[in-house]
Amino acid sequence: MADLLNVQDLRAGYGEAVVLNGVSFSLGEGQTLALLGRNGTGKTTLMDTLAGATRQHGGSITLGGVALHRLPSHQRAAAGIGWVPQERNIFKSLTVHENLTAVARPGPWGPQRVYEMFPRLAERKTNLGTQLSGGEQQMLAMGRALVLNPKLLLLDEPLEGLAPIIVTELLRAIARITREEGLAAIIVEQHPQAILAISHQAVVLDRGSVVHSGAADALAASPALLDRLLGVAR
Ligand SMILES: Nc1ncnc2c1ncn2[C@@H]1O[C@H](COP(=O)(O)OP(=O)(O)OP(=O)(O)O)[C@@H](O)[C@H]1O
């Protein structure tokens, strides 16, 4: 299978500070990768670096053969990165529908398809971002990334702080988008079992380096290894 994303010997961080030190991995088209690790190990820094929001000190990132290194964030979106940051960053003064139409790019994903995926958003089309619950904001943030018609979706802790019923709804949508619709994704999660269950690959970071890389189902089936890598057999 052809690689969609190739990360080689990546060094990146904030200003002069280097957080990621020699990170390498690749991801095939249509594959989902669970990005795991204890707190503060560099997961968000890696997502932000793929999206162009940190300082890259060395190494390379290619998406579909295109080098991303010199591209600013908005050009990476055009190159195929659909980034859903931890803070969600929706436009709070715009309506749900305006949030989606403001960034939509040509392709199979448009606002209508987002509403089919997230019926709650369809009901809130004319509500402002400020009027949405945390779960609805997360759905809108994902919808906004989807209407960019990306090649790779980056989801940074999409389930954090949400009620169990919303977590179930979001997990079902994420599984549909990745497993059924075949969109490649990298998903960061603190509680890995649910994400490992829908991922093909797993990468574990520790202190800015990759300490484990392999099949997601093998890691999910190894509580002792999960315990060693993440601290608890979750
Ligand atoms: N804006 C920033 N400026 C400087 N250092 C930062 C910044 N953001 C994060 N760091 C540092 O980078 C390191 C990695 O943090 P990062 O947020 O990437 O980890 P993480 O694995 O995503 O953690 P968590 O699970 O807590 O979100 C930490 O030492 C953190 O203090």
Ligand 1 pocket, 231 CB below 6 A? no
Domain count, the chain: 1
Regarding the beta carbon of 15 and ligand 1, being less than 6 Å apart is answered no
> Residue 11 is part of which domain span?
3-230
Give me the pLDDT at residue 231, please: 83
* Ligand 1 pocket check for 37: Cβ under 6 Å: yes
pLDDT of residue 232: 61
d(CA 114, CA 118): 6
Q: How far is the CA of 19 from the centre of ligand 1 (A)?
A: 8
User: Which of 119, 122, 118, 116 is closest to 97 using CA atoms?
Assistant: 122
Query: Cβ contacts of residue 112 below 8 Å, gap of 6+?
Result: none
User: CB of 41 closer than 6 A to ligand 1?
Assistant: yes
Alpha-carbon distance of 83 to 88, in angstroms, equals 9
Average pLDDT over residues 96-109: 94
Query: How do residues 34-91 score in pLDDT, each as one tens digit?
Result: 999 999 999 999 999 999 999 999 999 999 999 998 899 999 999 999 999 988 889 9
Pick the atom of ligand 1 nearest to 48's CA: 18
What interface predicted TM-score (ipTM) does this complex get? 0.94
The Cα 78–Cα 117 span in angstroms is 23
Which of 19, 47, 204 to probe ligand 1 with, by most ligand atoms within 8 A of CB? 19
Confidence of residue 1 (pLDDT cuts 50, 70, 90): low
CB 95 within 8 A of CB 136: no
Please report the atom of ligand 1 found closest to the CA of residue 37.
21
Domain with 171 in it: what CATH number?
Answer: 3.40.50.300
Say if ligand 1 is within 6 A of residue 168 CB. Answer: no
- pLDDT per position as a tens digit, 136-193: 999 999 999 999 999 999 999 999 999 999 999 999 999 999 988 889 999 999 878 9
